[in-house]
Copies of this chain bind each other. A is one copy, B any other.
Amino acid sequence: MTPPRLSVDGDRLWGRLMALAGIGALPAGGVDRQALTAGEIEAWRLVIGWGRAIGMTPATDAAGNLFLTLPGTDPAALPLLAGSHLDTQPTGGKFDGAFGVLAALEAAETLHRAGLRLARDLIVVAWMNEEGSRFAPGMMGSAAFAGLRSLGQTRTVADAAGITVGAALDTLHAAFPDIARKPFGFPFAAFVEPHIEQARELQDTGTVIGIVTGIQGKTTFRVRIDGAEGHAGTVPPAARRDALASFARIAARLHDSVGTIDDAVRFTIGRIVAEPNAPSVIPARVVFSVDLRHPGNAVRDAAGLAIEAACRELAPPCTVTVERLVDAPSNDFDPGIGASIAASAQARGLPALPLLSAAGHDARHLAAVGPTAMIFIPCRDGVSHAEHEWAEPSHVTAGADVLLDTLLALGMTP
C-alpha cells in the first residue's frame, strides 16, 4: 500500500467527542442520551451543523436513521456508508456510538479540507436506537433499513412511560421538517463501523486496531412472572404466589448453569422491575431481561432452550411468559474490507489484531444486505455502558485514520 496521503485532525475529533458528550452529560462523566429523546434531537442538530458546514446534505428515513452525504464525483457509483449511533445507555459513556459517527464525519471533513473527492458518495450514518435501553430491542433503525424487522412492528414498541417508538419518531421528524427522506435498503458499496471494543483484548495485547471479523451470536428474552399481591405480615408461606421469589429461583439457577457454561458465554440479567415494589407487600409481578451471547451458535441455541425451560420449571406457583426478542447467530464480516483495514494499520505502524465482537452492533444488520466491517479501538479496561468508559485520544485518532484510509481504498474508484 502507498503511504497515507492524509491524516485526520485528532484535536478536532476529540473536541467534537467532548462537545457531543455535553448533551445528556451525567455528574460522574457519563452520558444519558437515550434513543429519540430531546437529547438525541439536540445531538442531531449539532452533528448536522458540522456536516452542513462542509457541504454535506442531511437526510433521514422512516425509521429515524440520520444520513449526511458528502457527494462523490460519480453519481452512478454506489455510496460508502460509515458511522454508528448517537444514542447511549441511561448511564453510558462518551465513546460508545459517538466515536463511530464522529470518526466518519472527521474522515469526511479531512477529505473536504484536502480538496479530495471520492468517486463514491460518502454517507455518514447514525442508526436509530442501537442501545435498546429505552425501547427494546436495540438496533431498531438498522433492522428497519436492512428489512429485518417491519417498521410497523417497531413503531408499536413503547417505553416505560408508555410512549411508542412511532410517537417518538414523529416527534423527531417534526423537529427536522426540512430534510429529505431516503428509502430503506438503498444499495451501498460498503458499510464501515468504527467502535470502541467494549472488551479488553486489545488493551491486554497492546493492540490499537481491532480488525473485526464478525459478531458473536446473541439471544435476548423478556420474561414476565405473574403472582399475587398480599400483605407481608399476614399471608402464610403456602398461600403465597411471590413473583420475586420465583424470579430469584430462576435467576439463581440460570446464573449458576448457563452463566458458567464456559469462558466464552455472556449471560446477563440486566433489568428487573417488580410491582408494586413496596417493602411490606408481596410482589405481584416481576419483568426481567435476559441477554445471552456466545460465539458458538450451537451452544447459544442450547442455552436459549435451557433458559426457557428453567423459567417454566421454576416459576410455579406463579405463571410465566417468556418472549424471545432477539435471536441472532454469529456472523462473518467482509474479508475484503478487513484486508483494507489491516493494510492501513500496517502502513501506519499501528498494532492490529483480527477479533470477534462480543457485543452486538448495527453492522450485524448491515452485513445481511451489503459488504460490511468494523474497526475497533481499545477502551480502558474494557469498560463500556458505564460512566467511566474511556478511550485514549491517540487511539481515537488512530481509529479515524484507519477509517479514512479504508474509505479512500474503497471509494477512490467506483
The residue in chain B whose Cβ has the minimal distance to the Cβ of A274 is B272
Is there a chain B Cβ closer than 8 Å to A201's Cβ? Answer: yes
Rounded to whole Å, the gap between the CB of A314 and the closest CB of chain B is 9
Decide yes or no whether A271 CB sits under 8 A from chain B: yes
Number of interface residues of A (CB under 8 A): 73
Q: A245-B255, A268-B242, A274-B272 are in contact. Are A280 and B233 (CB under 8 A)?
A: no
Q: Assuming A231-B385, A259-B237, is B266 touching A277 (CB within 8 A)?
A: no
- A260 an interface residue at 8 Å Cβ cutoff? yes
Option from B266, B280, B282, B284 in Cβ contact (under 8 Å) with A235: B266
Task: Indicate if the CB atoms of B281 and A89 lie closer than 8 Å.
Answer: yes
Give the distance in Å from the alpha carbon of A272 to the alpha carbon of B282 in the complex. Answer: 12
Question: How far, in angstroms, from A263 to B281 measured CA to CA in the complex?
Answer: 18
Q: Quick check: B281 and A233 within 8 Å, CB to CB?
A: no
Let me know if A279 is at the binding interface, CB within 8 A. yes
Q: With a CB–CB cut-off of 8 A, which chain B residues contact A199?
A: 231, 233-235
- Which of A130-138, A171-179, A340-348 forms part of the interface with chain B? A130-138
A231–B293 alpha-carbon span in the complex (Å):
11
Residues on B with C-beta less than 8 A from A198 are: 231, 233-234
A91 x B276 contact (CB < 8 A) = yes
| Chain B residues within an 8 Å CB radius of A234 | 197-201, 266, 358-359, 382, 384
A218 in contact (CB, < 8 A):
yes
| B278→A235 contact, CB < 8 A | no
User: When chains A and B are docked, how far (Å) is the Cα of A260 from the Cα of B268?
Assistant: 29
Asked whether A279 and B271 contact (CB < 8 A) given A233-B266, A359-B234, A385-B229, the answer is yes
Measured between beta carbons, the chain B residues less than 8 angstroms from A386 are 229-230, 281, 284
Are A360 and B90 in contact (CB-based, < 8 A)? no
What is the minimal beta-carbon distance from A229 to any residue of chain B, in angstroms?
A: 4
A289 within 8 A of B: yes
Given contacts A235-B382, A360-B233, contact A269 B252 (CB under 8 A): no
In Å, the complex CA distance between A265 and B240 comes to: 12
The docked-state distance in angstroms from the alpha carbon of A273 to that of B245 is 15
| A233 touching B272, Cβ below 8 Å | no
A209 within 8 A of B: no
Establish whether residues B382 and A232, one from each chain, have CB atoms under 8 Å apart when the complex forms.
Answer: no
Complex Cα–Cα for A384 and B229 (A) = 8
Q: Which of A238-268 contact B (CB under 8 A)?
A: 238, 242, 244-245, 247-249, 251-253, 255-256, 259-260, 263-268
Q: Closest B-chain residue to A215, C-beta based? A: B233
Beta-carbon contact of A238 and B263 below 8 Å: yes
| B-chain residues with CB within 8 Å of residue A252 when the two chains form the complex | 248-249, 251-253
Q: Which residues of B contact A384 (CB under 8 A)?
A: 230-231, 234
Partner of A269, one of B230, B236, B238, B244: B244
Of A252, A272, A273, most buried by chain B (CB within 10 Å of CB) is: A252
Residue of B nearest to A197 (CB): B234
A216 at the binding interface (Cβ < 8 Å): yes
Asked whether, in the complex, the Cβ of B291 is within 8 Å of the Cβ of A270, the reply is no
Knowing A359-B233, A386-B229 touch, does A291 contact B279 (C-beta < 8 A)? yes
Chain B residues within an 8 Å CB radius of A255: 242, 245, 248-249
Going nearest first, the 9 A-B pairs with the smallest beta carbon separation are A233-B358, A248-B251, A199-B234, A252-B252, A232-B268, A233-B359, A279-B289, A229-B386, A248-B252
